[in-house]
Structure formats: structure tokens, C-alpha cells
Chain A
Amino acid sequence: MQYTQTQIKDLEDKAKQIRRLIIQMLAKAGSGHPGGSLSSADLITALYFTVLKHNPKEPNWPNRDRFHMSKGHCCPLWYAVLAESGYFPIEKLWSLRQLGSMLQGHPDRHTPGVEAASGSLGQGLSVALGMSLAANIDKKDYRVYCLMGDGEIQEGNIWEAAMASSHYKCDNLCGILDYNGFQIDGKTKDIMNLEPLTDKWQAFGWYVIEIDGHNMRDILSAYSQANTIKSKPTIIIAHTIKGKGVSFMENVLDFHGRAPTKEEEERALKELR
């Protein structure tokens, strides 16, 4: 599918708006994870506003495409796209991480549009696999998307799910890997090397698409291509920049799990204008 320059520009603007919401939400909450939310913002913005078949007015529409955020700590991104899509009012975002809020520090089913809880890393690809198998049982043609973090795939459960997804030929399943190269303790290559990553996923029976995770055309074309792959699951390995979009957060480890201060929020929002 070809996208016009205007469509691409609109999506880029939308991603910028999502990034602004992430920054504002985290600054207000005073804690949370900006780095990975920003690095996967383009991927998930493109998904929700162009690719995903869903209906925010009817979150439980049986034929909806499913999205599951396995790296649950990046839920500020999820909450922002859900609010922008119309699942709930934008003002709700300012309650992130507060007592009694429907926007918990890690996702759970109190949030409209969230299918299942996440946060304990490594379980999400299995959850997505379950959704994919349910589609097959019910002979429905919805697709299932699962966002994973790069540090997260050090969990053994991910590889159990990877093996099972190709065993069951889940071609309605599309993994999205936010490969920003950082985890809490440092660079993934120093903490627990993931390479050769493409080889690993291919060896587990997956079709691999490698892209620049900040190029909207690349992202959209990867989603379209994934849709054409038969009898095996697809993973989009997206090379991204942790903290993307805010210069002083880019590739800065500190912002994996630290919210911006008031002053940092102002600087960040200036850059995201």
C-alpha cells in the first residue's frame, strides 16, 4: 500500500503529539519510564492510527485486531495512543500512577482498550499467541500485534512462546521488537548480548523484517509486508533510539526509568513543538 506525503506527515505529527502526552503524563506522575515509551512511539502510533482495525467506541468488538504491550513499563505510550484514539478522555492521562486510577503504573484491565495486564516481563508474547490461537479456533481473521522490549527478550518465556508460535504457524501474529539497545543496567550488548538477533528469530521459525523504527514509511511498509507472510509469524525488528524525540533523553540511560522534572518537561515540550 502506498501512503501519500500528507498521510506520512499527519502520522509524524500524531507521533509528536503522543510524545508530548508521554512527557506531560510522566512529569505529572513523577515516576515512570520515558526512554522506551519514546523509542517505540512511532511504531505504535503508526499501528493505532493506520494499521489496527479497532473501534474505540466498542472496545470489545469481537473482530478487532488485538494489540498487547508485553513491555508493560512503556504504558504511558499505550495510554496516550488509547486516549488519542478515543478510548477515554485525554484528561484521564493526568491520573497516571495515582491511587485508584484506571491508569496503573503497569497496564491492567481497568483501562479501556487494554486486553490483559502486563509488567512482569516475558509473558506478553505468550498472551499474544493465545489471542492468535483463539482467532484460529473461531475462524476469525483479526491480527495480533505484540510489542516487546529488547531487554525483555532475555526472558526464557519469550523463546518458549517464539517456538510455539512458529510450531502453530501463527501467521496472524506480528511481533514488534523495540531494539533501542538499552536496558536498566546498561547497553544490552554489555549486560546480556542479544546478537545475532535476526538469526535467532529466523532459527525459531519467524519471518524477520528489519527496519528503522523511526521512519514512518518503513514502519507502515513492514506492517503491510507482515500481513502477506503465510504459515509463520513475523517479527519486525525495529532499530530505535531510546528517548527518541527529546535531545537530552536520547540514548541517556538515566531516562529508562526516571520521569522528567518540571524544568525538563518544559525543555522537552519545546523540542516537541
Chain B
Amino acid sequence: MEQLYQRDIYGQTLVELGKQNKDIVVLDADLSGSTRTSIFAKEFPERFFNFGVAEQNMMATACGLASCGKTVFVSTFAIFAAGRAWDQVRNSVCYNNFDIKIVATHAGITVGPDGASHQALEDIALMRVIPNMNIIVPCDGPQTRDAVLTAANTSGPFYIRLGRPRVATIENKGEFKLGKAQVLTEGADVTIAACGIMVAEAFVAAKNLLSQGIKARVINIHTIRPLDSAAILKAAKETKGIIVCEEHTVIGGLSSSIDEVVAENHPTKIIRIGIKNRFGQSGEPSELLKEYNLRSQDIEKAALSIVS
């Protein structure tokens, strides 16, 4: 299976956009090598600005650029984009409803050895509560390109969440549409709703469940806002329960988004696979996924508890 860095795709897509549109401007805060905005910087040095280790200034500067008609891509690690610069994101980016696209990398526990201080497990929650913000969590390399192009061509602020490690490409996802979830496998026994790297885990779990005669519906909820409530309610009605999988705290992110829709419209059994009110720690990504119960095995166990 093809394994790609979402960050590589991001950098390459920025160059693609930069060639088409002279109003694309890219900002980074001393992490351009890691976020891959360096690829754009090399191609378009006059439209790239490095702000050093000063994320708050970077985010508010994006506001000034956007007020002059620029479409501004802003990148740093998720922990800094969503955490350190939250007030700037709220007041300078979202309140103004400007064309600012925050593409945050190194999100989630799979940051790995850097440990808890660098593992953003709360960023979706932080971004989700701000009006006007669109949120995409692409599941693989190709979907990263879809997300970045969509953000560039849709007005208003975006938060796109990318990870650090390579991720397996999921085949046959179908067309990418903002706010439209992708049903990857059909099934009426149980639903597995996932985003980001957890989509691949959900896929493996569904395959193993099928060998036990259980048909799971895997849904890739790549857009957290606007949420595809229709796909979620359909799953709530047609299957016995929903397992929500995210590389994020179970508080405030994808799980909460789905809980809210289901609780208000069609209550059903929900099991949340995610970080359970803990900080992360150092370790290899595979070790951490095991330690924090974020693997396909954990999803299978949850599915069995729903269907049995």
C-alpha cells in the first residue's frame, strides 16, 4: 500500500496553487522544513514569510494580509496553531471571516517521541467552538490535496489537521466534497465513523469483523465542520450503534460532534475510541497507538460489544 507524508502533499499542493493564483501567500513560524511550506518558499520567496518562533504574531499578521485580498495559508504544529494562537484565531481570523487557511501539522499522539508537550490532542475541540471555522481532517495523502484545494477555493477560515508520520493511502474513497462524509464500506450491523489516521484502522477492523460475519459501515468523516449530519443520522437509524474513532481527546472533537447530532435527533449506542482525558507521552507511534487503545483491535472489540 502507498504510504505518503500528508505534509509533502501539502507543500506540493501549495506550489500548484501558487502557480495558479498570485494572491496565495504562505506563513510559517520556524517550522517550514517540518510543515513543508519550505517547498512553497523556495518557489515563491516573495510570497512566503517566516515569523520565527512567534505564532500569535503570525496568525494576526495573516489577518492583515487577508484584509488586502490575499488567501493566506498559515502553518505550524497543531499544538501552537490551535493552542498558542487561539485568541488570534478567534478574533483576528474567524470573527473577520477572512480567507485564512490554517494547515496544522504534527497533530495527535503519533507525533511520537517528542512527547506530551508537542502532541495536540485538543485542537479539533478548540477550533470547533469558533463560529465561521471549517475543519477538515484528511485521512491520507491524496485527501490532503483535496482538502487544501477545497480550502483555497472556498471563502472563509479553515483548519486542516495533518499528522507527522507517513499514512497509508485509502483506495476508492470516491469524490471529495466539503461537508460530505464518505461511506467506505456498506454495512447494517454497526457503524465505524472515523477521521484522519483512524480511518485506516477502521478499515482493518471492518475487514476482520467481516470474517466474523459482522458487516460494518465505515464512514470517513473528513469534514468535522460543516458536519454531515445526514450521513450520521442515517447510520444511527440503520445500524445498531456507532463507534467514533479519532486521534484526539474524546472530549470536544469528532466524538462530541456526533454525540450532539445523535442525542438531539436519534439517540443510539455510541462508543468513543480516542484519548481518554490523559496527556500523551514519548514513544514510537505504533507503541502509543497501542498504549492509548487506538488500534483496529480496539475498534473490533467495541463493535462486538455493540452487536452482541
Contact = CB atoms under 8 A, between A and B. Distances in A.
B54 A160 contact: yes
Interface stretch (B5-13, B67-75, B286-294): B67-75
Given A128-B64, A163-B54, A164-B54, A123 B70 contact: no
A156 interface: yes
Nearest to A119: B91
A161 B61 contact: yes
Given A116-B67, A137-B70, A123 B49 contact: no
A86 to B, nearest CB: 21
A119 B96 CA distance: 12
A164 B61 contact: yes
Given A126-B64, A132-B64, A116 B54 contact: no
Given A130-B64, A134-B65, A164 B57 contact: yes
A116 B64 contact: yes
Interface in B281-302: none
A119 B97 CA distance: 16
B46 A126 contact: no
Would you call the interface of chain B mostly helix, strand, loop, or mixed?
helix
A127 B70 contact: no
A128 B67 CA distance: 10
B56 A117 contact: no
A126 to B, nearest CB: 3
A147 to B, nearest CB: 14
A157 interface: yes
Interface string A21-54: 0000000000000000000000000000000000
Nearest to A118: B91
Contact of A117 (B47, B49, B61, B96): B96
Interface residues of B, number: 31
Interface string A117-161: 111101110111111111101100000000000000000110011
A66 B68 CA distance: 10
B60 A164 contact: no
Contacts of B58: 126
Interface in B50-93: 51-52, 54, 56-70, 87-88, 90-92
A148 to B, nearest CB: 13
Q: Which of B51, B54, B60, B98 has the most CB of A within 10 A?
A: B60
B64 A160 contact: no
Given A120-B87, A164-B57, A130 B52 contact: no
Q: Which of B47, B63, B95 has the most CB of A within 10 A?
A: B63
Contacts of B90: 120
Interface in B165-184: none
A218 interface: no
A145 to B, nearest CB: 12
B3 to A, nearest CB: 37
A66 B52 CA distance: 25
Q: Which of A62, A119, A160, A163 has the most CB of B within 10 A?
A: A160
A123 B47 contact: no
Contacts of A120: 87, 90-91
A264 interface: no
Interface residues of A, number: 34
Contacts of A62: 69
Q: Which of A66, A130, A131 has the most CB of B within 10 A?
A: A130
B109 interface: no
A137 B57 CA distance: 19
Contact of B47 (A124, A137, A163): A137
A171 interface: no
Given A109-B96, A116-B96, A119-B91, A126 B49 contact: no
A248 B292 CA distance: 64
Contacts of B49: 133, 168
B301 to A, nearest CB: 45
Contacts of A157: 56-57, 60, 88
B25 interface: yes
B91 A134 contact: no
B88 A130 contact: no
Nearest to B47: A137
B132 to A, nearest CB: 12
A154 B123 CA distance: 27
A158 B62 CA distance: 15
Contacts of B68: 66, 130-131, 134-135, 138
Interface of B: 25, 46-47, 49, 51-52, 54, 56-70, 87-88, 90-92, 95-98
Given A117-B96, A137-B46, A161-B61, 5 more contacts: A133-B25, A134-B64, A161-B57, A163-B57, A164-B51
Complex A-B, nearest 10 residue pairs according to Cβ-Cβ distance, in ascending order? A130-B64, A126-B60, A134-B68, A160-B57, A160-B54, A130-B65, A123-B60, A127-B64, A130-B61, A131-B64
14 contacts: A68-B64, A109-B97, A118-B91, A120-B90, A126-B64, A126-B88, A130-B60, A130-B63, A130-B64, A131-B65, A135-B68, A137-B47, A161-B57, A168-B49
